[in-house]
Every structure is written in structure tokens, then in C-alpha cells.
Structure 1
Amino acid sequence: MGRVKNLLGWVVTALLLVCVVAWYFTRDTGSNRITAKKLAETSRSLSTDRRLLQSARQMASVADTTDEQALAAEALRLADHELDQAFASALREAAATTPPATSAPQRALTDRIAQLKKRVAVEQARIAKLTQDAAAKGSGDNGVELAKAQLALEEDELEDAQQDLARQGGDQHATLERALQEHEQAQHEAAQPTKTPVAGPTATISAQIGSWLSLGDRQGQLEAAREQAGNNAAKLGREHDTLEKLITNKPVADAGAAAATGDASGTNEDDTEEEDPAAMLARLRHLSDQRKTLAELDKRIQDSQQLADVYKRWNALVETRQRGVLHLLLGSLAAVLGILIAVILIDRGIHRAFVRLADHKRLHQMRVVATIGVQFIGALLILLIIFGPPNQMTTIIGLATAGLTVALKDFIVAFFGWFALMGRNGLRVGDWVEINGVSGEVIEIGLIRTVLLEMGNWATTGHPTGRRVAFVNSFAIEGHYFNFSTAGQWLWDELQVTLPAAGDPYQTAQQIRQAVERVTETDATAAQQDWERVTKPYGMRLFSAKPAVDLRPGIGGLNLIVRYITRAPQRSEVKSRLFEAIVGLLHKPAGTSAS
């Protein structure tokens, strides 16, 4: 058994060391601060510092009273106004300065945008001239509608090119405009500050395990959402490229552009004149719709890419939280293992301390009480760490407790009866007692039962019968018992002698009394002192431990009844010595005095 306990102690110690090491390596390494720094850098890269608005929103989320909410609303208004001014300044600076292209695709898009802007300006001037000519001549359409369709096509192509450049990060002005639109939309949706959801408590092991598993599931969902957004962006990119190639390869676009601008390099003039203006207008409008589709695809691609980036940062935040929960869980497990080690060490200390005690009668019971107390406290602490204090479902717990109380009434009464038996006026191992008519020596006092080694009736020799009798400890509360043992296990015993009618019975009785006093003198003195010590706090009268002799008439002579004090374990031995002395006294010749 000792080897098993030692092995258990070493295993628990090793687990504790593992938990402590893992707890150290899962501590906070500043991931949250790094994430916040990245977010701040992202905001500064857009030339707009949003930290004031973020701080105002954070403070508004904790405002409880009406006055605090009013101040929070004022702070949000001022922070929002400051951010609007920052956006205005950033847009003005972006429009005034054109950042150099950093890659070949960006340079190509920049050149294309410049050309498209020139073509748009030319188309606008041409439409104005055609409109003036038509008004002066009083003629009809005169190609105005065709020119307007061509202008719409050029503008859509310009917007598509600008969206392509913004998607590649080369158009800061477009990026700022998009961020401003998102900010205005968010401000419109969040009209009033709302409370920030607070994560559930993770102070207990059960809550920590649940939180850790929940965060793991959330990570999987976020990763799936990020992959979905990325796949959607890739799919939209392929659709954009396919549509752009289709539009680029259409000769109708070049023909229409050349016809609208009068550029002979695009197509032959004879072919253009043969083209139906209505059909040309329809084709130009169709191309314009396709250009708008390209611009919308660019916006959707940017939305999907930003959504994937949001999910990525969200996943990193959840991973940080999961690491923190794991850190708390390892700390709680280390605390549980520490409690187990403390219980094992205290148990060993109790065992060694009680081995050194001189009073071995109550050694076992006291050691059991101390061990059970330490184990109960340790189990209670571990349960508190695992499940926490009971602060919910009090009604259900109360009903369950009431039901268990009724069902386990006998066991509960027996358990509290054990406390009564272990008290100052209770029982000890070795006491001679009578419980429910059964007399014997106490050999075990358990939490639920008390075991006696049955003895014969007190009128007999009092030798053990060899039977073990167990009683539920409820007798200490609901019933009664007799304890024939004081501090020294004293009890009154008696013997009866028949004196012959011949002779002087009074003299014989006096001699027998003197003989009994000589044999029991030591026990009587010790019993007198024990009784005085026990009864003194209660103010009771003193008892005499001297033997008492009574003469009663009987058949064939006088019956002499002698009562004397003796120790319970020595009862039979003392009675045997008294009978020997009395028989020797009765067989002496008449006139001989007792020596």
C-alpha cells in the first residue's frame, strides 16, 4: 500500500511539473498588442487615424447611467466629426498628388486611366459641339445619342480601370473614398451605442474547457468563412478577366470608338458609314453595361478580399483568446494537482504524528477523523476549482438535497451520531458498554457503525463470546446506551456468600469485609480519585469507593452480599482472588482472627 501511495505521489508531482511548464509557455506573449498595432498601422496607411473613434466607441459601450450615455454620445459625435475632417483632408491630398506606380501592371493601368480621361474629355467636348450644331440647324439627333452612348462606354471603362488600380493598391484616392463610404454606412447603422458582449466567466475548469472547445469550433468556422471569401474573390477575378478579354477582343468596340471619335485608324470610313446607327447605339449600350459589370465585379472582389482579411484577423484574435484560456486551464489543473499533493503530504504527516502518541485507544479514530477532514477539504477545493461556487439552480439543488435527506435519513443520523460518540462524553475503543441489551467491549467506532465484541452477562464471568455485534451509530442520538467505564474503566461488582447459622455471623461478616478491603484497596483509592475528578466540575456529592457488606436472611443461614469496586477488564480476576480469600477465611478454626 505504501508503494502505491508513493507511486501516486510521484505521478501527481510529475503532472504538476508538466502543467507548470506548459502554463509558463502559454502565458501572454503580447499577441493582442501586436494585433492592435497592426490594426493601427492599417488605419494610418489610409492617412486616417481612427483611434479616437475606436476609443469613443469603447467608452460608450461601458456607459451605464443616463449622464454617462449623454457624454458618450457627445464623444462619439466629436470623434466622428474629427474623422470626417481627416477623410476630407486625405481625399484632397490624394487628389493633388499621384503616387508613383510600383509595378508594371500598375503603370499600365495608370497610363490607361490617363488615356481614358483624355478620351472622356474629348467625348464630352464632341457631345457639346454636336448639341450646339443640332440646335443651330434645328435638325434631329445628328449623332448625339451615339456620342452619348460612346461617352457612357468610355466612362464605364474608366471606372473599371480605376477599380482595377484600386484593387491592386495603386489608387489611394479610390481606397479613401471606399473607406469613407463604409464609415458613413456604419455610422448610419449604429445610431446608438450598444453594450459590448462580454465573454462568459472562465474561472472554473468546466467553463475553461467549454470555452476552449467553443473557441476551437469558432476557429474552424472562421477558417472556413475565410476560405469561402477567398474562393469567392478568386472566382469573381476569373469572371472579371474572362469578361475583360471578351470586351477587349470585340472589334465592335474599336469600330464604335473610331466612328464616334472620327479616328480613321480604328476602321475604314466606308465600313462605318454602312453601319446602322441604331445597331451601333445598341451595341455601344451593351458594351457600356458590360463595363459596368466589370466595375461591379471589381468592387465585389475588393469586398471579398477585405472580408477574407477580416476573417483572418478575427481568427488570429480567437487564437489568442484560446491560448489565454488554455493558459488559465493549465493553471487550474496545476492548482488541482497541487491540492492533491498537499493532501497526500498532510495525510502522511498525520500518520506519522499519530504514531508517536501514547494514547493508542483513540489513535485510530483521531487519525481517521483528521484524514477524512483533510480529504474532504481537498475534495471541496477541487470541486470549487472544477465547477465553481453553486450560484445557480438553487431551487433544484434544494429539492435534491431534501430528497436525499429523506432517502438517506438513517445514514445521515448515523454519521452525526459518530460525532456524538467521538465527543468528550462518548465512547472509546476498549470501553465496556451495553447497547440495545447487548453488552461487550468496543473494538471499532466507524463513521456509520460501532462494533462490539460481545461479552457474557454481567452476572457471569464476562468472558468474550467471540461474536462481533455491529450497531448503526444512530443509537447515540435516537436511543440510549450504557457505558460501564469511567476514566479508569471502573465498575461495581458483587459476590454472594452464604454464612452458616452456627457461630457469630456478624464477626464473620466483619472479617470478610476486611479481607475484601485489603484485596481492593488499591483499586478503591484510584477509583475514588477518578470519580472526584470527573464529578468535581458538576458540583455533585462525593462517592465512597470502599466495599459494602449486607446481611440478608436466607434458607439455611444468612446471605452475605459484598459490593466492591474493580476495573472492568480485571473483574473476573479480582472476583477469583476474593473468593479464595473468603473460602480460606471460612475454613479457619473458630477464634482465629483474620491476618
Structure 2
Amino acid sequence: MEDQIKFFLLEPTIQKTLVIIVCLVIIWLVIKAIQRNLFTKIKDSDNRYRAKKFSSFFGYILTILMLTIVFSDQLGGLTVALGVAGAGIAFAMQEIIASFAGWVAIMFGGFYKIGDRVQLGGIKGDVMDIGVIRTTIMETGQWVDGDLYNGRIVLIANSFVFKEPVFNYSGDFPFLWDEIKIPIQYGSDYDLAKEILEQAGKDVAGDLSQLSLEKWKTLQNKYRLEEAQTDPMVSLIANDNWVEYTLRYIVNYKKRRITKTALFTQILKKVEATNGHVKFASATFQLVETPDFKVKITKDEQ
């Protein structure tokens, strides 16, 4: 019995298997301990998420290296075959390799992070997870108006960061400029109409002017940008049908729909309170009737 145990333990395959098991246990115990005791102290959730992802990926790399070292004596005669096979695999898995490169670019290039609202690969939504191969997005829009969730979860290959533009609605500047257009009839009190729109912009969206200006100045320190108008602004043009006022304002990227509702509600009430001094314009059509025809019939003389 003792001889069988010694023979079993001295078997090269058994020894390598035991080494692999012990090394795997040590590698992942160390990584989990680091994640539990060190990474949990990172206050920023985005940096903590990236650190955990990178440590897990590093664990996989160590596992592959360990397997390569343990079985290195059996790989000598397979070098050429592995090289040819590797070239074929690389060609067949070029999309996966590009997605992995995209993951590296996302994690260290600052394309976007968890919680950002982005448009990637033609899909707009909030980033739920950034995997090694795919990014998971909770989609907004499509058959739902505005920037509301439609309930559809979309997986997008990370390789799209190299193929198409990445639109980030909430990166270094988590605000958007938005505007509404109001048609006013000719003959209205134009100054009063402008005053109503300006006041509505200040009441509803004016509190973000100073905060967004500070964020913009931070961007100016990082990039080469001009000064930006963050206060609500009203402009107008006159066309063939009416005077069109445009209210431009700053808004949080998640509150465009709510802000528009509040603005239109206040503007409607204020215009109605002017007792006709300011009137909304609408498209009108005038139907022109066919003029009357007089027909005179004469009898031929006999």
C-alpha cells in the first residue's frame, strides 16, 4: 500500500496536477484577499471597479503563465505547430482581440465609465458594466420618447470604440445645452414675450448656470476651449408666418424631458395671463372659393 502511494505521488502527471491546484489556490486567494482588504478602501467607485477588473484579469494571466511553466517540457516539439495554429486563431478571433484592445482603451483611455450615458455603436443608454469583450448598456429612446429607459439591455462589442465615434453625455461636463422654440403672432408685445421666456429659463434652469460654468472652467484648464454662455438666453427670428423665439438653456443630461415640461408649463400660464398682449401663432390655411359664374343662354332665331 505504501509503495502504491509513493508510486502515485511520484507520477509526473500527478505531481504537475498537484502543483497546478496548489498554485491556483494561492493565486486566487491572494487576489481575493487584495480585493477584499485593499480595494474596498478605494473611495471612488469607478476606480474601485477598475482595480477589481484589472486584478481579476491579472489573475487569469498568472494562471496561464503558471500552466505554461508547468507543462513547458512538453511544449518544445509543438513550437512550430503552435505558431501556425496561433496565426490562424488570431485571424479567426480578430474581433475578440479588437474587443479586448477596446477594453484596455476604455479602462485606461477614459472613453467612458460605469454610469455614464453614452451612444456607442448607434445605441444610446447608460453603461451598466464594462466587460473584457462587451459593454452592457441599459438602452434609452427608440420607441420611447425622450431620454427614458425602454427596458432593453444591449451588449455592444468593445471594438466599436475604434470603429465609430463614442458620444459621452456625462463625461467631464455632465450638462447639455437644449432649446425650445415658441411661435408668437405678429402684433404681439414682443418685449413682454421675450421677458416671459427669459424669466421661465431663469426659474426652471437658472440654478445650473453657475455650477455648469464652474465645470466648464475646469474643462478649459484641461482642453483648449472658448468661453461658454451658461445663462438662459433668448433669441428671435421673423419668418413668413410668425415671430419665432428660441430659449436656450443648460440642463442636466438626465433631465431634458422634465425640464422641457416645466418650461412649457410656465410659459403657457404666463402667456395666457397677458390677456391677449402675447399670442401663440399657429399655421392657418385659407380656402379660396371658386367665383360665381353667370351663364346667359339665348335662343336661336327661327
TM-score, with structure 1 as normaliser: 0.40
Amino acid at match of 1:209: P
Is 1:515 equivalent to 2:200 in the alignment?
A: yes
- How far apart are the structure 2 equivalents of 1:582 and 1:498? 12
Match of 1:408 in 2: 93
After superposition, the Cα gap between the structure-2 partners of 1:459 and 1:346, relative to the gap in structure 1 and judged at 3 Å, is: closer
* 3-state secondary structure, aligned to 1:569: coil
- How far apart are the structure 2 equivalents of 1:352 and 1:455? 37
Deviations 1:473-521 (A, max 9, x none): 1111122222222235222222222223232224421441243134323
CA apart distance, 1:406:
0.5
Amino acid at match of 2:183: T
- How far apart are the structure 1 equivalents of 2:77 and 2:195? 79
Query: Which of 163, 187, 209 is the aligned partner of 1:524?
Result: 209
After superposition, the Cα gap between the structure-2 partners of 1:390 and 1:528, relative to the gap in structure 1 and judged at 3 Å, is: farther
Runs (5+) with no aligned partner, structure 1: 1-21, 27-204, 211-325
Match of 1:586 in 2: 271
After superposition, the Cα gap between the structure-2 partners of 1:436 and 1:555, relative to the gap in structure 1 and judged at 3 Å, is: farther
- How far apart are the structure 1 equivalents of 2:156 and 2:205? 35
8 Å CA contact retained: 2:173, 2:216: no
Is 1:209 equivalent to 2:12 in the alignment?
A: yes
RMSD: 3.4
* 3-state secondary structure, aligned to 2:55: helix
Match of 1:483 in 2: 168
After superposition, the Cα gap between the structure-2 partners of 1:500 and 1:351, relative to the gap in structure 1 and judged at 3 Å, is: farther
After superposition, the Cα gap between the structure-2 partners of 1:427 and 1:500, relative to the gap in structure 1 and judged at 3 Å, is: same
- Bigger Rg over Cα: 1
* 3-state secondary structure, aligned to 1:582: helix
After superposition, the Cα gap between the structure-2 partners of 1:497 and 1:520, relative to the gap in structure 1 and judged at 3 Å, is: same
Match of 2:300 in 1: none
TM-score, with structure 2 as normaliser: 0.75
- How far apart are the structure 2 equivalents of 1:391 and 1:535? 57
Match of 2:153 in 1: 468
After superposition, the Cα gap between the structure-2 partners of 1:335 and 1:398, relative to the gap in structure 1 and judged at 3 Å, is: closer
Amino acid at match of 1:468: I
* 3-state secondary structure, aligned to 1:501: coil
CA apart distance, 1:409:
0.8
CA apart distance, 1:526:
1.9
- How far apart are the structure 1 equivalents of 2:193 and 2:130? 47
Match of 2:180 in 1: 495
CA apart distance, 1:337:
1.1
- The percentage of counterpart residues that share the same residue type is 23
Count of equivalent residues: 270
Is 1:417 equivalent to 2:102 in the alignment?
A: yes
8 Å CA contact retained: 2:173, 2:219: no
Match of 1:360 in 2: 45
Match of 1:5 in 2: none
Is 1:567 equivalent to 2:252 in the alignment?
A: yes
Pairing 1:217-228 to 2, within 5 Å after superposition: none
- How far apart are the structure 2 equivalents of 1:531 and 1:489? 10
8 Å CA contact retained: 1:455, 1:463: yes
Match of 1:450 in 2: 135
Match of 2:113 in 1: 428
CA apart distance, 1:440:
1.8
After superposition, the Cα gap between the structure-2 partners of 1:339 and 1:526, relative to the gap in structure 1 and judged at 3 Å, is: same
8 Å CA contact retained: 1:411, 1:448: yes
Which piece of structure 1 moves more, 352-361 or 443-452?
352-361
Deviations 1:223-256 (A, max 9, x none): xxxxxxxxxxxxxxxxxxxxxxxxxxxxxxxxxx
- How far apart are the structure 1 equivalents of 2:23 and 2:122? 50
Query: Which of 534, 540, 550 is the aligned partner of 2:219?
Result: 534
- How far apart are the structure 1 equivalents of 2:96 and 2:35? 27
8 Å CA contact retained: 1:362, 1:429: no
Query: Which of 235, 246, 255 is the aligned partner of 1:550?
Result: 235
